[in-house]
Structure 1
């Protein structure tokens, strides 16, 4: 049983692709691809997105490290912790909503313990928040032993002896450990797109620094492990650590406007290596990432990922639409144009959703749909190519190669293969005097001469765009107006007959004395007939059948002793005034009760 590509194979292939896509989505096989392509959409979306004005970053920038005055007062990095204490006491009177360090004071200063003590006291006074990191390895600290001020919470299923290797601010008095985690949270491709809110471990929860800042500022905090960051294309407000600290050393300093602001103090100098890969760049400042998470919480505009079902639905619908489109309209160009418009609309909608804090990355279903299109289009093309090549091979036996190419380019071959009734003009040509010629030649010479004769006659048919039906012994049958529509088919048939007559004169000259008795008779009739491929599955011929064909053959038989070319009255009338015609009267032909009027065409001078 032969399977239909469009009705059977293509739908089965699409069904398989839909199943593979759905399984891949469920298993997260497209996560990295969606994330990377989503980054492109994100960068486009956030170009003009401005962060909140109430978040201020105090940067330990390169200028702060290199400034001569800072070198005189604080020395080389790392500075004595007294410097940070002095800065804290300088900005605290401005009543910021919260102050947080993005610096880990993990080791006590054994040479300047008084300096550490001053910072501990300043942190206690200002209630500044400190960062902490869960390390990749090291000695685990029992979570139940951490100070209550760290707000590490035990859930109902908490493991009593659970521990984590922590990098804590050991230079600061534990009584001032208002800490929050600042662990970088990379995706599988090592790019950071999320930030911890609550770090879970064996039933325990460690708060992140953005959560501690939000609670200090009085904001609501989502009860989830992490949030997807909604980035900003415009910069946060930045102040140089150097400028503030040197101002604090003056007798009459200018106080910065930090009232109700969130103040983050962190390392921004490239040499301090606090850089991470994010959707906005491969080397993004750690304090900027922290500030983004805090800003998202302040405005509650962190990104909510779209449900996985959206991608599943889009992919399944897209691939099914492809299957239906090819089933109804196999031309791939309109389908590709439609698919392009749909893809653009989906991307624009995903872009609009970012403004509503919904992150939808529809790239895997779009890719799956385009791959389905490419697969089905390729299969359809190969199938059409095979059909076309088959049809070309078949029609090349009957038509001038130029006509076959025209049919191919116009996409009419499939239509031409189907049998149909239409008006055509049929020409029959038969040899006179062939017996005399064959008696004087060897069989090989006769075949050579006949082939030469047929070449000349067929050339005349093809020159006028005719279809060569068949050779019947030494006779030729041809017709016009199929498979190529030819409005002047009667005129072309007559011109072909006149051309065959002229070619015959040249051929007779080649035969010499044997050409004296060599002649042809040509009969032409115009009328309805059924045209198409007829025969068995193993042998097909493109031919015409019907009374029109029979009458054209009978007319050819009436040429003996009358004229080399005779046409019916129907053909004469179809030619109009193009030729001169000699009326040879009416004749009765075999198989017809009604007489047929015959005419001999002549070229007009």
Structure 2
């Protein structure tokens, strides 16, 4: 009985610990990126349960329209009388509202066949005749879009100004608006602002209202609803927007959570029409010909006009972007369909999620401290499965967003700390560490790790290290000519040599990737000389391979290896799945080391190191500057060097090559291309096989003929990996 009480007390302590950890992480939104991903999965799974409003259709500027008009000699941007014809055609067919998700912020341009004033005037006149056209605007806080006070904006949206209560309305001081003649012709204005979640840049919610210069403008998808319903009462509070009797829920930031209907575009949830076919149909109807698409097809429709052509850059990131590119106008159309049909997504209040975290933590900790593993583990699995079912069920049946991740994390954390409290021992942990590190490190380093104060910690940590990548030069050609058995034996012998060079210099063999070796120096324990040890290891690799090729009696091929070395802060730790983990390193410095290894191909070199590695070295190496390189996948250029030899082993011609290249490089940086050319030519004469000299001779000759811009900084972009 006493033992049971102790276990209950322990369970309470553990559950409190688990709850606090998870609740703090939840409060800091650490789970939000994953939570949003699970929300996207739910949308993709259950989108078919709710049908998009069939009275909402899209007239799209697609690739076909651009191509067809281009063949007719009409390139983008099209003359505005195209849109005039489109508005006239849709109005004739009985469209209720026409919404342009196109910013007409500048006047049309003069063309040989048309005058801008006439085309703009024609479009404005047709809008005024139709009386149902909503134009797009865009609001920002940036001073790049500063406009004067515009009374037309205020007049066109006066209903909202008069009726809106104070609440969560986004305030903006700058806007992109339609030109004045269009403001006079339009029926109302809508805000084509699309916000994305900061966690992943995906659009899942929209602000519905925007305050600008004393007026309140509705989002482009809400503006047609206000017009259709002839709203007489509009109020807002902290949780909802009320338009007459329609209560539209808002999240804690005053945004509307979008309910998606499926993938975007012509093959998605809404009906799409190519603008090409509509404009041709408009012309045919006016000529009394049979149109491809009769205008009557748009009777009682709300028509959104916009683009889904990739080249016009109006494709947005949504939960369905991975399935199909999503046009921006369809987001507004989806909002309108949501509001018309009351398809509202509501997220359960955070207080209920916190209660679930606490309840699961308590139940799991009690189970693991009181019952055997055969009982407690299935209980944890059932609890997790039950929560997953609940989240999916309420989403499917009531369009309710129940937080998926945090309670599951609570189950996992409670399971983990309960198991650790009951079963973990230091001896077991140390044996596991030795079993892991023996594969990657020399026995001396393994002993240092185990004897260090934090030696038992193989979880992730940041550390400054030097990363080495090497692979076999022309391996593809070699592999094509050899039998599999020979290749396996050759690679095993090659990897043995490479690994010995790493381990002998206190490095960690991180992994083998095909014919490549990745090694880390300065991990898992910090080492002051990690950059020096990495460079020694690289030179040893070259020497050992040459010796092996010369003395081998079994036909070991004359292999050559290319090496890239970079130094920086990386994350190291046990990474992998539940069934298999490896002690490895990740981070941008790792990627750059790999890129530098590949850069050897361009420069005809064997070992390239970065400036960060160079800065860690003493004067015991012979190196020369190679280039100021912008590698693929990196924002900042990096100064790279060729590692030639250790100074004690250097040949006179290698020292001469170092000095000559340093002088030529200094002149090249100073834009003294003629002087640099002379030195690089001298290097090329003394070293006919030197690829960098040939490259810079070509560059200098090019810059002498065509001098670079004033802001030239010497950066060369490497496009290949």
Alignment of 1:341 with 2:371, yes or no, is no
Q: How is 1:145-164 mapped onto 2 (pairs within 5 angstroms)?
A: 145=151, 146-151=153-158, 153=161, 164=173
Distance, in Å, in 1 between the alignment partners of 2:301 and 2:71 is 29
Alignment of 1:261 with 2:326, yes or no, is no
TM superposition shift of 1:65: 0.7
Distance, in Å, in 1 between the alignment partners of 2:50 and 2:223 is 25
Contact map agreement 1:25 1:308 (CA 8 A) in 2: no
Contact map agreement 1:311 1:362 (CA 8 A) in 2: no
Distance, in Å, in 2 between the alignment partners of 1:184 and 1:81 is 25
1:463-483: per-residue Cα shift (whole Å, max 9, x none)? xxxxxxxxxxxxxxxxxxxxx
1:281 aligns to what SS in structure 2?
Answer: coil
Larger mean Cα displacement after TM superposition, 6-15 or 86-95: 6-15
Distance, in Å, in 1 between the alignment partners of 2:213 and 2:354 is 33
TM superposition shift of 1:77: 0.7
Contact map agreement 1:94 1:258 (CA 8 A) in 2: yes
TM superposition shift of 1:383: 6.5
Distance, in Å, in 2 between the alignment partners of 1:209 and 1:297 is 13
Q: Which residue of 1 aligns with 2:32?
A: 31
Q: Which residue of 2 aligns with 1:529?
A: none
Unaligned runs of 5+ in 1: 387-605
Contact map agreement 1:330 1:380 (CA 8 A) in 2: no
1:205–1:334 CA distance, 2 compared to 1 (3 A): farther
Q: Which residue of 2 aligns with 1:326?
A: 368
Q: How is 1:316-395 mapped onto 2 (pairs within 5 angstroms)?
A: 316-331=358-373, 333-355=374-396, 356-382=398-424
Alignment of 1:309 with 2:351, yes or no, is yes
Q: Which residue of 2 aligns with 1:441?
A: none
Alignment of 1:166 with 2:170, yes or no, is no
Contact map agreement 2:14 2:365 (CA 8 A) in 1: no
Distance, in Å, in 2 between the alignment partners of 1:76 and 1:384 is 73
1:297–1:365 CA distance, 2 compared to 1 (3 A): same
1:13–1:163 CA distance, 2 compared to 1 (3 A): closer
TM superposition shift of 1:45: 1.7
TM superposition shift of 1:49: 4.5
Structure 1 vs Structure 2 CA RMSD: 3.0
Contact map agreement 1:45 1:351 (CA 8 A) in 2: no
1:59 aligns to what SS in structure 2?
Answer: strand
Unaligned runs of 5+ in 2: 111-115, 232-242, 263-267, 429-721
Distance, in Å, in 2 between the alignment partners of 1:5 and 1:108 is 80
TM superposition shift of 1:31: 2.4
* Structure with larger RCO (C-alpha < 8 A, sep 6+): 1
Alignment of 1:237 with 2:262, yes or no, is no
Distance, in Å, in 2 between the alignment partners of 1:4 and 1:147 is 71
2:99 aligns to what SS in structure 1?
Answer: strand
Distance, in Å, in 1 between the alignment partners of 2:338 and 2:165 is 30
Alignment of 1:185 with 2:203, yes or no, is no
TM superposition shift of 1:76: 0.5
TM-score, L = length of structure 1: 0.58
TM superposition shift of 1:34: 1.4
Contact map agreement 1:143 1:164 (CA 8 A) in 2: no
Contact map agreement 1:105 1:171 (CA 8 A) in 2: no
Contact map agreement 2:206 2:257 (CA 8 A) in 1: yes
Q: Which residue of 2 aligns with 1:212?
A: 223
1:150-196: per-residue Cα shift (whole Å, max 9, x none)? 346276779xxx86211111164322341111111111221110122
TM superposition shift of 1:4: 9.4
2:221 aligns to what SS in structure 1?
Answer: helix
Structure showing greater radius of gyration is: 1
